[in-house]
Amino acid sequence: MPIYEYRCPSCGFQKEHLQKMSDEPLSVCPSCGTTGYAKLLSAAGFQLKGSGWYATDFKGGAKPAAPAAESTPAPAAGGCGGGCAC
């Protein structure tokens, strides 16, 4: 649910209210009781922190090269190449 900010033009009382988008706007000031309590236009109240999905999932550019696999020497003629002393 969004948080809306309201201000009373009569007494200057200002407060944030948690309301559904389908709720009717408030019109009566909770401080002085007069009508005219108006919704204000304010900046969005969220922040993006951390590395984010774009840096881990969909980052463009070249990927690091995979490490080369170690090659094993070919077995010598007449032996199996293992440690069995055959």
Domain ranges of the chain: 1-43
Q: What percent of the chain has a predicted confidence (pLDDT) above 70?
A: 52
83 vs 73, higher pLDDT: 83
Residues forming a β-bridge with 7: 14, 38
Q: Indicate whether 67 pLDDT > 60.
A: yes
Q: Which fold has domain 1-43?
A: Rubrerythrin, domain 2 (2.20.28)
pLDDT at 83 > cutoff 60: yes
